[in-house]
Structure 1
């Protein structure tokens, strides 16, 4: 998994980890902040949330076009500084009046523009590391590792957001609404770490910071794509973009309707193993066990296997100690903390998915990237089927709000299971999709095509607001059923286009 990868991959991945930690710390509480601080309805909060998410993923298209002309490294650096300004403005508590709302929108615009310059172009640089003939076969693995690093950043974000808000309220005496701004300030600090990592290890990837106008063939010679081949590749990418819109529409409900469900319909406490899952340190211990287990069987030296064995025993010992000392305690469950399950599952499952696809590749049976994307849509539908069954018999959100002591609550296991299955779909779709774009995009339009991937994500994020508008008078099975149908229709469309897509792989 990690063998033979260029050092530049790890430098770029770590720089992205810092930025993603700050972003997801903010996102973990953003929709709740909108309702608490400004008194907005679920629909209005969902609209602002989805417009912001859409902007975050639309601006990479413009950022990519600029970088194709002026260089990827310059845009990445500029993006970090603009994002920093945006998060700094968000960290200023101004109350809940109209001026504060406008001020917040200006801050969100800065974050969106900065992300547009940073995110897509950093991923283009990762892809460019693998244009060398000897590294081209490691591209999919590289983007899986890169994607795992993103989720390491987001894994700790919900806990950081909840803990710093508790500290601001309980230790510093700030009001609940003002405490949200402390969570936003974490993003400022994380960007400082990100830029320090970027420049400390810049020598490992400096050669891919410029533009990439030509393709290098297997002999190292520069070749030009024909107009017909360029057209075919762009059409294939646009078809993929059209499908992933609906995946992101469904997936990004984790910050909206799934968070609303956690806040309004999920039990507020847990005990035993379930309660332990809400402590991020326990999840880290499980992650260490997974990676050490792979190292135990894959390492080539006795020393490495011994270290892996020690890590497994130490992690199991830690989990055993935590169970003995905390399993009888009642753990308070807050809605934002559920968002640490998805990134923890991504980090846990990445080596598993790589092992499975590596085995299939050796047998000559590994699915193509477009086929993996189609499978990912089916899996996403299955995730929302879990929510549908878990919601049967529950009142509508409007009825729940006025139910008082008669309100109905369900086990956290429904959300935890949904996030697990949704993560399987994400691993089939997102890193493979990014790798596909990096591989297929015509060299002269790499930045723009990677930006196109994010435009599709942006449109999907704009459609996230549909969940917010459904949240209220509709039965919950209707809310989840909408996402099931859209995911299945997208998978069907993808399969009908498979020959055209696999032609350019």
Structure 2
């Protein structure tokens, strides 16, 4: 598939993912408000179990049939490299986690969540850099594959920055909705968690529009490059936090503010998300060499995890008792996102220059990353 069709396809795929993201907060919010959070989390676990069963019973046979019709090898669910120790490693990891959980529940050990998040953030950041260095220096990749790896690293770093801001949504934004937003609607108090569904609703509405737009621009050879789309994403996110900066100033001055401040912010963040997340998935699947495609996808989601951890650390400084620092917090996010966009813009030409120096094996479609 062409770049534009690939991006369009991943936008539709991303819309499907968010169908569940739209429904889940609505159910969880009602159950948590009328009963308790245990039931809310239980429904989430049940939903994941149902999804797993649907995939195994319905999706797997369909994928096998698809491969048969295309006369392709049925290797989509087989590892590229066999590792006989993988089950032992996975079991040891899960057992270690279970032991830590049990010891924590019985107060044998005490865990400071902030310290854990801080160490994880540093550890994951160092781990990502070290692993990319390993791929470049010790894996004996072809020169053109090394250039692809460099591009993947740049996009992953931009993604981590985006998510570190975007994932203020379930922390800072939720607290803002809870304590500083007028949630009454014709006598009904909107559960705070319902604001989590707004982002997914916007994705469901606008993902088809994004898919159509990328395909349409691709036909006329005007489809923006991947880095350009990431720059757009960071700038839209910066716009969203600029809106929240104004909203927090109004909250300081006059109490509860309209929910449309949050809705407008979430709209801008969603547009940014559609320019980054499905595009990033599309890019990783295309750039990653076959032998390490699974590892590159894992690194991509590790970058997302890094952004979530940073967002949690930032959100931990927000409290209902002190709103005065929120405008500065949001403006720092704006500044970080704008600086990230500028850095990406400055890196466009060097990356294209690197790609032009690659061997003749480089695919032409990579020349305008």
> TM over 0.5: same fold?
yes
CA separation of 1:241 and 1:253: change in aligned 2, threshold 3 A: same
Contact conserved, 1:388 with 1:476, CA < 8 A, in 2?
A: yes
Deviations 1:420-465 (A, max 9, x none): 1110000000000110001001111111111111121121111113
1:251 and 2:109 matched = no
Rounded Cα–Cα distance in structure 2 between residues aligned with 1:490 and 1:135: 28
Rounded Cα–Cα distance in structure 1 between residues aligned with 2:33 and 2:271: 32
**Unmatched 5+ stretches in structure 2:** 65-73, 82-139, 356-365
State the partner residue of 2:78.
Answer: 210
State the partner residue of 1:455.
Answer: 302
| Secondary structure at 1:394 match in 2 | helix
Aligned ranges 1:212-231 → 2 under 5 Å: 212=80, 227-231=142-146
- The count of corresponding residues between Structure 1 and Structure 2 is 283
Rounded Cα–Cα distance in structure 2 between residues aligned with 1:148 and 1:337: 18
| Secondary structure at 1:395 match in 2 | helix
Aligned ranges 1:231-310 → 2 under 5 Å: 231-270=146-185
Deviations 1:387-413 (A, max 9, x none): 1112224339xxxxxxxxxx7110001
Rounded Cα–Cα distance in structure 2 between residues aligned with 1:330 and 1:264: 18
1:359 and 2:216 matched = yes
Q: How far 1:226 moved relative to its partner?
A: 5.4
Deviations 1:297-331 (A, max 9, x none): xxxxxxxxxxxxxxxxxxxxxxxxxxxxxxxx322
1:436 and 2:293 matched = no
Rounded Cα–Cα distance in structure 2 between residues aligned with 1:342 and 1:389: 20
| Secondary structure at 1:435 match in 2 | helix
Aligned ranges 1:20-39 → 2 under 5 Å: none
State the partner residue of 2:23.
Answer: 156
Rounded Cα–Cα distance in structure 1 between residues aligned with 2:245 and 2:337: 14
Deviations 1:200-238 (A, max 9, x none): 22122243111347xxxxxxxxxxx95211211111111
State the partner residue of 2:266.
Answer: 419
State the partner residue of 1:480.
Answer: 330
State the partner residue of 2:50.
Answer: 193
Contact conserved, 2:164 with 2:311, CA < 8 A, in 1?
A: yes
1:493 and 2:350 matched = no
Contact conserved, 2:5 with 2:214, CA < 8 A, in 1?
A: no
Contact conserved, 1:370 with 1:501, CA < 8 A, in 2?
A: no
Q: How far 1:358 moved relative to its partner?
A: 2.1
1:381 alignment partner, one of 227, 231, 238: 238
Rounded Cα–Cα distance in structure 2 between residues aligned with 1:137 and 1:416: 29
Q: How far 1:488 moved relative to its partner?
A: 0.7
Contact conserved, 2:160 with 2:304, CA < 8 A, in 1?
A: yes
Contact conserved, 2:180 with 2:257, CA < 8 A, in 1?
A: yes
- Name the stretch that deviates more: 348-357 or 415-424: 348-357
Contact conserved, 1:395 with 1:475, CA < 8 A, in 2?
A: no
Q: Given the two structures, how large is their TM-score scaled by the length of structure 1?
A: 0.53
Contact conserved, 2:19 with 2:200, CA < 8 A, in 1?
A: yes
Q: How far 1:186 moved relative to its partner?
A: 0.7
Contact conserved, 1:471 with 1:479, CA < 8 A, in 2?
A: no
Rounded Cα–Cα distance in structure 2 between residues aligned with 1:372 and 1:195: 32
CA separation of 1:193 and 1:334: change in aligned 2, threshold 3 A: same
**Unmatched 5+ stretches in structure 1:** 1-133, 169-178, 214-224, 271-328, 397-406
| Secondary structure at 1:209 match in 2 | coil
CA separation of 1:408 and 1:337: change in aligned 2, threshold 3 A: same
| Secondary structure at 1:256 match in 2 | helix
Q: How far 1:188 moved relative to its partner?
A: 2.3
Rounded Cα–Cα distance in structure 1 between residues aligned with 2:281 and 2:317: 31
Aligned ranges 1:7-46 → 2 under 5 Å: none
State the partner residue of 1:392.
Answer: 249
